[in-house]
Amino acid sequence: MIPKSCDVLVIGGGPAGSSAATHLAQAGIDVVLFERAIFPRNQVGESLIPHFWKFTDMIGVSEKIRQQGFVAKAGGITVWNDKVHQMNFADFGYTESGLHVERDIFDDILLKHAESCDAKVFNQVSVKAADFTDPLYPQVYYSDKREQSNSNGTIKCQYVIDASGHSTCLANQFKSRQTVSTEMNFLSMWGYFKNSHFVGVDCQSHPFEALADVKPVTFVMSLEGGWVWHIVLREKTSVGLIVPTKRTQGMGRQQRESFFKQTCETLPHLNALLASAQFIEGSLQFRPNYSYYSTNICGENYYSIGDAAAFADPIFSHGVQNAFFNAGVATLAIKESLKNSKNRVRYSQLCESRMQQFYGFSRALSLGDFGSNGVNPALVKNLMKSLPPLELELILLASDMTNRSENFRQLAREAGVLSEFEDNFSGRSSEKAEGLAF
């Protein structure tokens, strides 16, 4: 039975919400989580960089993830404007691999872990609105769809965490969601294939059956005005296109699907990987104008985290890492606020600054937004000053692979840290003269 009150109400059971609930439950805080879907549920975002392990270590779920046997990836290979680049995580001191995960299974592990830590989890319960009239005890209105006849209810809490992802529950209520303003907006479309070849760490194409013997990489390539991803999973392969919205303007679903398939068939390298593959009918999904941010992330009694706060271009696989990071800083602020309520506004302000740092860094790195679209350059520069030189070099290498390194160099130059790692970068160049062996 859903309780009438709790200390913290979490909206959404993805990585941000489940890890936030785990942090709080492990601290002995009474936390309730509402998730509108039944888990496991389909979700995109299968590429995880090794940074995420430090966050799963913090909540004690890393071993459960290892036991699942997800595909371990060694790094990334890009073909950008006909130039081939490679990045291996081991070259930068990482002892843990990145992962290619089925997000439905990965997210389910995290949510079950939260429940095992005594978070009260309720699936098929969707939040309709939150009333903050009483600042000490906000009231959340929900719809319980666990039974055939829906029932509505309310729950009181001291803090609300919005981890509702792209639904942006509180941002929509506050009317604070802003679509990122650039010269062009983008549409993300993705689908799944059976029996695709994959790119190995040796820069060669391998049949799907070789996955047990050859460690793969995330494969990314440029497309006119956008880019493509190819991520091999245990039973299928995720392929996504990021294209300017105007290229599919006026198309219906069937026309978009034809566009997707035709693009996959005609793009060099990608068509070779998919030559013997079969598209999984009905798997194609879309997300228009996917980059956005909220102008109202944190308040004295609410926190929007992960994709509920902002979403940048996914090219550097920051999404899940950002969700874990946001969950960590938001729950730290809440834990301190519960101890000392007089300072809770200050704690929320500090939390928002940290979250804006990470979001601004992702935006500036991917699309060069240095003073717009919710990016505060001063916060980003402070973040860069705190990062170790080896990690800065890794980020520069990743941005160089997609011809976006000048965005990063400009920030590093203004932050006064460029000289700390740029010399090493020239000796660890990512460009591969020999190219791909497909």
DSSP 289-351: S--EEES--EETTEEE-GGGTEE--GGG--HHHHHHHHHHHHHHHHHHHHH-GGGHHHHHHHH
Task: Say yes or no: 76 and 153 in one domain.
Answer: no
Residues 178-197: tens digit of each pLDDT: 887 665 678 899 999 999 99
pLDDT(385) > 90: no
| CB burial readout 150-179, b (16+ within 10 A) else e | eeeeebbbbbbbbbbbebbbbbebbebbee
**Structure tokens given for 263:** 């693009």
Instruction: Provide the mean pLDDT of the chain.
Output: 90
pLDDT(19) > 90: yes
Strands 98-100 and 83-88, by their bridges, are unpaired
pLDDT at 172: 97
Residues 105-119: tens digit of each pLDDT: 999 999 999 999 999
Q: How far apart are CA 329 and CA 134, in angstroms?
A: 24
With tokens 């290229």, the residue in question is 247
Task: Say yes or no: 417 and 280 in one domain.
Answer: no
Task: Say yes or no: 372 and 413 in one domain.
Answer: yes
* Percentage above 90 pLDDT, the chain: 66
pLDDT at 374: 65
pLDDT at 136: 94
Residues 6+ apart with CB under 8 A from 176: 170, 294, 295, 296
Residues 6+ apart with CB under 8 A from 132: 138, 299, 301, 302
Domain tally, the chain: 3
Q: How far apart are CA 380 and CA 394, in angstroms?
A: 17
Q: What is the mean pLDDT of residues 147-168?
A: 94
- Top pLDDT among 326 and 293 is at 326
| CATH number reported for the structural domain that contains residue 255 in this entry | 3.30.9.100
Mean pLDDT is lowest, of 67-81, 203-217, 240-254, for 240-254
* Most confident among 170-179, 239-248, 353-362 (mean pLDDT): 170-179
Task: Say yes or no: 32 and 118 in one domain.
Answer: yes
pLDDT(378) > 60: yes
Task: Say yes or no: 284 and 306 in one domain.
Answer: no
Classify the C-alpha dihedral 254-260-261-262 as positive or negative.
Answer: positive
Residues 6+ apart with CB under 8 A from 48: 98, 99, 100, 101, 317, 320, 321
pLDDT at 370: 61
Boundary residue ending a domain (270, 290, 310):
290
- Residue 438 falls inside a structural domain: no
- Residue 413 falls inside a structural domain: yes
Cα 239–chain centre separation: 16
Task: Say yes or no: 9 and 154 in one domain.
Answer: yes
Residues 6+ apart with CB under 8 A from 393: 92, 421, 424, 425, 428
Cβ 170 vs Cβ 308: under 8 Å:
yes
pLDDT(138) > 90: yes
Task: Say yes or no: 39 and 80 in one domain.
Answer: no
pLDDT(60) > 90: yes
pLDDT(361) > 70: yes
pLDDT(371) > 70: no
pLDDT at 395: 76
Altogether, the residues listed in the chain come to a count of 438
Strand partners, 304: 162
Q: How far apart are CA 321 and CA 50, in angstroms?
A: 9
Boundary residue ending a domain (318, 345, 367):
367
Per-residue pLDDT band at 372 (split at 50, 70, 90):
low
Q: What is the mean pLDDT of residues 14-38?
A: 98
Per-residue pLDDT band at 430 (split at 50, 70, 90):
low
In DSSP notation, 120-155 reads: EEEESEEEEEEE-SSSSS-EEEEEE-SSSS-EEEEE
Residues 220-232: tens digit of each pLDDT: 999 988 899 999 9
Enclosing domain of residue 139: 1-45+103-180+294-367
| CATH number reported for the structural domain that contains residue 161 in this entry | 3.50.50.60
- Residue 434 falls inside a structural domain: no
pLDDT at 221: 94
**Structure tokens given for 4:** 């009438």
Task: Say yes or no: 212 and 353 in one domain.
Answer: no
- Alpha-carbon dihedral angle through residues 162, 164, 167, 171, given to the nearest 10 degrees: 10
**Structure tokens given for 152:** 């509505």
